[in-house]
Amino acid sequence: MVSTRQTPPAVVGSQRIPDTRVSLLLRIQDPADTMAWNEFIGLYAAIVYGFARKRGLQDADAADLMQEVFRSVARAIGGWSYDTNKGKFRSWLYAITRNKVFNFLDSQRRHPRGSGDSNVHRRLEEQTEGGEDQDQWDQEYERKTFAWAADQIKDEFQKTTWQAFWMTAVEDKSVKEVGDLLGMSPGAIYVAKSRVIARLREKIAEIQAE
């Protein structure tokens, strides 16, 4: 999996990452459509898990919560319909995830497991207040979507082409430094970077709302 370190949305343009395409959401209304569900989980597993971890859940707890979120989606998605007036699917999934995190932290507070974690009350208060939760969710969504798209297209390019893009666009190395490392001219680096960014935009556009 491609690292998500230093992967700002600006790498692929100034527009925000789009919402999940409607066709996929309609397909997962069929629990037997394993291909659709695999694609859906591939898109959202890391987002839900990462959000839970940032709210203070341990690895195993975050993984369990992620499974609970997907079970909730499976139960409720049959009644979901595309309506721009009701907001994006991303926001609906955020609400489910946030509620699951709140319930978990509340349960920890009421039934401590002897871990001695004095931060449970603080995390629960932060969750109750809301604060920057939505922003954190959106940021997590954009980072993980970028990482997913990058992982999907990486093998379409020669190794040096990908490295030229990654080093300049993600790791923010100078063109001169990358040229010295890869033995490429500045022009070749710019072409490589442009090709990969164009393909990333195409890949990310595939999951936009239709």
Q: What is the mean pLDDT of the chain?
A: 80
Residue 210 pLDDT exceeds 60 = no
Write the pLDDT tens digit of every residue in 96-151: 999 999 999 888 777 666 554 555 555 545 554 555 677 888 888 888 888 888 99
Query: How confident is the model at residue 87, as a pLDDT?
Result: 58
Sorting pLDDT into bands at 50, 70 and 90, what band is 206?
A: confident
Residue 181 pLDDT exceeds 50 = yes
Q: Residue 68 burial by CB count (10 A; 0-12/13-18/19+): exposed, middle or buried? A: middle
CA neighbours within 13 Å on the CB side: how many for 131? 12
Query: How confident is the model at residue 122, as a pLDDT?
Result: 52
pLDDT-above-70 percentage for the chain: 74
Residue 21 pLDDT exceeds 90 = no
Q: Which residue has the higher pLDDT, 176 or 77?
A: 176
Over range 171-185, report the average pLDDT: 96
Over range 54-75, report the average pLDDT: 93
Query: How confident is the model at residue 136, as a pLDDT?
Result: 80
Over range 139-164, report the average pLDDT: 90
Query: How confident is the model at residue 191, as a pLDDT?
Result: 97
Query: How confident is the model at residue 90, as a pLDDT?
Result: 82
**167 contacts 192 by C-beta, under 8 angstroms:** no
Q: Does domain 9-151 have CATH number 3.40.50.1360?
A: no
Q: Which residue has the higher pLDDT, 37 or 43?
A: 37
Cα 91 to Cα 19: distance, rounded to the nearest angstrom:
9
pTM of the model: 0.67
Q: What share of the chain is helix, strand, coil (3-state, %, to 5)?
A: 70, 0, 30
Cα 137 to Cα 181: distance, rounded to the nearest angstrom:
36
Query: How confident is the model at residue 33, as a pLDDT?
Result: 93
